[in-house]
Structure 1
Amino acid sequence: MKHDGKIALVTGGSRGIGKAISRRLAEDGADIILNYKSDSATAEETANELRELGRRVWVFQADMKDDKAIRGLSKSVKDEVGQLDILVHNAAFGTMGSILRMGLFSWRAAMDINVTALLLLSQQLSPLLAERKGHIVGLSSIGANMTFSEYACIGVSKAAMEALVRYLAYELAPIGIHCNGVSAGPVETRALDWFKWPDAVHRYATTKSPWSRIGQPNDLAGVVSFLCSADADWITGQIICADGGISMGENFHDWLTPEQKAELNKGK
């Protein structure tokens, strides 16, 4: 398998997209360092599922908003594991609301978790990653490059994270570390509850994607696993969009009246 002998750290790796990534990396041969913020029961449940695949699993609690906790996590990885091939920064924070009414607590939390945590982990764990010619992947959002109503807190922080990915890729290449990002569209997880109307997001995704469905966590997990493999060794500093085609553009048919659509469909 493509990740045999590797060890991967996945932040926010116990549920949702993070769990899917942890499981895919484990299925592809990697042992997993599972980071979680507060739900120890869910983290242990996920860890046990990964152990059933025959993988070693370490479980470390750390709040990605707390720089001291991040240092503690990095120290635990160095002291208790001693090897790192893959770093996936999946943990995220965001709140919905007008940018004109955005509170500083939410703004700073988004920047701390979505951007600064990746910076600190990369700084602290790059020596281990360099030993293994490792890979770093950050999870982003199409909201970094497209504007959505009340999405500024998340979108701006993800745009900053994408810029950080490129700078990390440039500076870490001389020591053998690859760094890329994966930009997701709407995905069916608990994070949809951040939105005031999750059902509207679901309708948006199924309408805008030519595949007529919303994304699932496994849709991203395979992309992440590929970017962490030797097959992706000539890819660095890139943001790979995995959104089911949502960001390709508008469907002109959406702007036609029912009569115009009927006329267009006559010849089909």
Structure 2
Amino acid sequence: MTARIDAALDAVADERATLRDERSALTAFDGRVAGLSTVTVSTGPPLVADPRPSGQSLSRLRTAYAETVMATPHYEAEYGDTVAESLAAEFGDDLAAAIIGGTALTPELRDAVRAATDAAQREREEFLDVLDREADSLATAADDIEALSTDLDTLDDRPLSTRSFDELHDLWTATRDLEARIDGVGLRRQETLRSHRNDLPGVPTDLCEYLYHDLSASYPVLASLADLGSRLERTRRRVERGLATTP
């Protein structure tokens, strides 16, 4: 009954591992950038490098990026882009252009890179917080669904033909109670999904579609509840038929 949710928990664990690797890589990159020497440019906009100074530090910055951020275990399979494409995706087009097309690392450029790196780290932290809540939501829902499934099995543990009218009526009432519990689990899950959307405005798609697009169901909890609801509906219909034919 909870196989879909178990698969979703595995997907969340994989995404958490990916984010932790990226956060660590960004931390390593920032440390290397902090140690690079800079060249002061007397005139011109702060992100435009003076053509006269040596570009050795800027080259080292690009190398540091490739050896940290782009060297995570999943990077090639997940992104597979160039240094220029990766910088643009991570830090924006303007800063990427200054890093790729510049000839010297100015103090202002280094500060801008470090600020962008810090922002990228914070994005990972926020995403990890949401994934922690998602994992808790999935685990709680799995426990609830297992308990509901067990209770449904207990209700239907002996033939309806052996039950009296009063017993069948009690059984029908119990199915309505189970239905209310199923609805409650679904409502709590929907609340969690809404909170994810509010907390992750930068995610381009719905979080479930992003995390679970390779699974049998993009909404594993709701799909499991739908299956349980169908089972319950079949039981209730049999009970209602029994009530109709039992004196």
**Does the TM-score normalized on the shorter chain lie above 0.5?**
no
Tell me which protein shows more helix as a share of its residues.
Answer: 2
Tell me which protein shows more strand as a share of its residues.
Answer: 1
TM-score band, normalised by shorter chain: under 0.3
Higher relative contact order (CA 8 A, sep 6+): 2
TM-score normalized by structure 2?
0.25
